[in-house]
Amino acid sequence: MRDALAKLGSDANKINPLVPVDLVIDHSVQVDVARSSNALQSNMELEFTRNRERFGFLKWGSTAFQNMLVVPPGSGIVHQVNLEYLGRVVFNTDGIMYPDSVVGTDSHTTMIDGLGVAGWGVGGIEAEATMLGQPMSMVLPGVVGFKLTGKLRNGVTATDLVLTVTQMLRKHGVVGKFVEFHGEGMGKLSLADRATIANMSPEYGATMGFFPVDHVTLDYLRLTGRSDETVSMIEAYLRANNMFVDYNEPQLERVYSSYLALDLDEVEPCISGPKRPHDRVTLKDMKSDWHACLDNKVGFKGFAVPKEQQDKVVKFDFNGQPAELKHGSVVIAAITSCTNTSNPSVMLGAALVAKKACELGLEVKPWVKTSLAPGSGVVTKYLLKSGLQEYFNKQGFHLVGYGCTTCIGNSGELHESVSAAITENDVVAAAVLSGNRNFEGRVHPLTRANYLASPPLVVAYALAGTVDIDFEKEPIGVGKDGKEVFFRDIWPTTEEIAEVVQSSVLPDMFKSTYEAITKGNPMWNQLPVPEASLYSWDSNSTYIHEPPYFKDMTMSPPGPHAVKNAYCLLNFGDSITTDHISPAGSIHRDSPAAKYLLERGVDRKDFNSYGSRRGNDEVMARGTFANIRIVNKFLGGEVGPKTIHVPTGEKLSVFDAATKYKSEGHDTIILAGAEYGSGSSRDWAAKGPMLLGVKAVISKSFERIHRSNLVGMGIIPLCFKASEDADSLGLTGHERYTINLPTDVSEIRPGQDVTITTDNDKSFTCILRFDTEWSWPTTTMEASCPM
């Protein structure tokens, strides 16, 4: 944007944030090294080696732009750092007070709602417009009141609660809505528990899952090192403005758009999977549900494994010792992601499970890739203070890094013998992680079953070595005395966990951690920073490449474009996620992105991830629709990142097909089902299709952030009318589509009907999903942006 402004003869420094911006670098560390005392240092060194150019670019930005704080890599996950340090709750600027709010470029920005700060994810495109002073428009949302009563039972975790809430709210339907939690049960939930629920707002589809400020909030602010003066100011301001909730006082009847209620006493231990976060399974039903998944046809709850193959055992050699895998064998067990690693009760609870198992003589099998990736350095401090990190290490859960790892697909490679056993025998291997998303192909290409679980359950399943187990009836293993050890033998009580939390989680830990957070680390501090307002692009870089968005910008906007006789690039069903559209994990060796990197002399071992190469539009365009688990109706059930070039009938990679259409001068569109673009607020899921030449997406429904990102990149989002879809209209995707959108911008209105015609004389009406009057196309930046 600065380059474009300079080319137009204006002052490039006009491009600068007008609101405070906090940028946390947290998505680039991978679990290359695990089960080792030097894993943290080794993974960080590899992270800096791979991302040196990208980090240098970000460090340049920290000095080139004003009003921006950059938190260096290795400091933690943005949402946990926001909760523990960046969140203000109330701003006090030169004596003028106002409530804190935040828009962030990650959908889990909503974690801050647990602290009583109104915040949600908007994607990088919309967030950067906000940084530059543009208004952020939205449809006034409905507000769902969610009443909590009672208290969680002994042994039930916050993760069990959030998976229950996620399922309830997905079923209720809260896309585009706010959810406000209230009721006497609120006083029984710690701030960390609330943040866990707020964090997963994207998984239940809400814009925000809000917890008003009360005494629990104030206690947390003190715990995390906020001064008594600051906490008193926050309380006084919110009380004066009737924004503080005091459950010791009579409560007014709240009026909401709709209502839900949950008795916390009814929550049961559970996990979610094997392919979606809202497919909750109670722990007691897990074994039967797993066998049903093996039987079911391929889908969100099915793998279609023939009966005669379901019990097969694959034996192999692992570093000189005998090993075996079956369907459901756990090969990845990861305590990771922002969702749970901010919560001391589940983190210390997991460590207690590891300790009890050690004492009884149980060990995690060495071929299970175990890892511990906390969201902040505070976690390490209280694990060491409690003496429990030792037991994590004994079970292989060594510290591997501070940042998003397995949950974002940065799980690293499996041991080659494990990979070979899975691929050569078509084993449905499992990953269990304390994350928030488990869509196909996200966690690891070789784990077809992925389950979300609390950190204590991650340890329990790692010890069991399989998800094919009934914890109530079957032993986890045999202890050192030869006796069977059951789940109940290693599960800590709520009182045990509370006692350790009380004695080990201390305010000084937060103060000492965040006093040094912007000072960086030696590797960051050694990066050179050029002093220039314009970035000096390196044409040979495979990490940072000047994108094309503003190269041909003029002083006159181009206005709406016509879409005539466009071909269908892809024809999808329901629940196509942003992970399907723009993967963030590993770059497959046979992909167009791999070919691009190999042609530029990059070795396979240095491919890194799409997430780390998102500064290069050439890589990301080739990575668009490159998920190996994507299902395109054109291919008749075949799974993978291919499509049909309609004019010739050729089967090509999506990138090659899109390139062919562009070279022929043809526009393209995408057909899709419900919940198109669910998952991460990944702006590359809109930027990539735009670079491929996609002009419109026609679906049954959109996830909120992705719809906005499509508009920001000039892609028209259209929804079929109620009860209609591509199948009911007889659309196969082999037609050519003309979208009759007004060419005069003054005639375009939010939600208007748009007629679409095809070359085989079909005509149907869609709803234009421009939901508000103004949308502002910009570029992207990962950041948390307090307004």
- Predicted confidence (pLDDT) per residue in 365-420, tens digit: 999 999 999 999 999 999 999 999 999 999 999 999 998 888 888 899 999 999 99
Mean pLDDT within 176-183? 95
For residues 278, 279, 282, 286, the Cα torsion angle rounded to the nearest 10 degrees is -150
Label residue 783 by pLDDT band (50, 70, 90): very low
| pLDDT confidence tier of residue 291, bands split at 50, 70 and 90 | very high
Helix (H) or strand (E) run with residue 259 in it = strand 258-263
- Res. 562: pLDDT tops 80: yes
At residue 539, does pLDDT exceed 70?
yes
- What are 661-699's pLDDT values in tens digits? 999 999 999 999 999 998 777 889 999 999 999 999 999
pLDDT digits (tens, 9 = 90+) for 101-129: 998 888 889 999 999 999 998 878 888 88
pLDDT for position 787: 25
Q: Using alpha carbons, list the distances in angstroms from residue 727 to 310, 572, 764.
A: 34, 11, 13
Q: Quick one: DSSP state of residue 604? A: G
CA 363 to chain centroid? 31
> Among candidates 101, 247, 256, which has minimal Cα distance to 172?
256
Mean pLDDT of all residues in 322-336: 97
Q: Rounded to an integer, what distance in angstroms lies between the CA atom of residue 395 and that of residue 459?
A: 8
- Rounded to 5 degrees, φ, ψ at 314 are -105, 115
> Across residues 269-275, what is the average pLDDT?
95
Give dist(CA 138, CA 277) in Å, integer.
Answer: 26
Query: Does pLDDT of 779 surpass 60?
Result: no
Averaged pLDDT, 408-436: 94
Q: What is the pTM of this model?
A: 0.87
- Reduce the DSSP state of residue 182 to 3 states and report it: strand
pLDDT of residue 105: 85
**Model pLDDT for residues 206-252, shown as the tens digit of each residue:** 999 999 999 999 999 999 999 999 999 999 999 999 999 998 888 78
CB atoms within 10 A of CB 674: 17
**DSSP helix, strand, coil percent of the chain (3-state; round to 5):** 35, 20, 45
Instruction: Tell me which residue of 194, 200, 229, 199 sits closest to 212, measured CA to CA.
Output: 194
Does the pLDDT at position 757 exceed 50? Answer: yes
Distance CA 574, CA 177 (A): 21
| Structural tokens at position 179 | 């959810």
pLDDT tier at 573, thresholds 50, 70, 90 = very high
What's the pLDDT tens digit per position in 465-497?
Answer: 999 999 999 999 999 999 999 999 999 999 999
Do residues 345 and 83 lie in contact, with contact meaning Cβ atoms separated by under 8 Å? no
Write down the pLDDT at residue 554.
Answer: 87
Which helix H or strand E contains 229, and what residues bound it? helix 228-240
- Domains recognised in the chain with CATH numbers: 1-76 (no CATH), 87-268 (3.30.499.10), 305-396+414-512 (3.30.499.10), 563-778 (3.20.19.10)
Cα–Cα distance between 157 and 453 in angstroms, integer?
A: 10
Whether the per-residue pLDDT at 782 is higher than 70: the answer is no
**pLDDT value at 518 more than 80:** no
pLDDT of residue 774: 60
- Find all residues with CB under 8 Å of 72, minimum gap 6, and list them: 25, 518, 520, 521, 524
Percent of the chain clearing pLDDT 90 (strictly above): 75
More confident residue, 593 or 772: 593
Considering the chain, what is the average pLDDT of its residues?
92
Average pLDDT over residues 61-78: 90
- The answer to whether 127 touches 785, Cβ cutoff 8 Å, is yes
pLDDT number for residue 160: 95
Read off the pLDDT band of 780 (50, 70, 90): very low
CB 297 within 8 A of CB 459: no
Residue 454, classed as helix, strand or coil, is coil
Contacts of 317 (CB under 8 A, 6+ apart): 323, 417
Give mean pLDDT, residues 443-461: 95
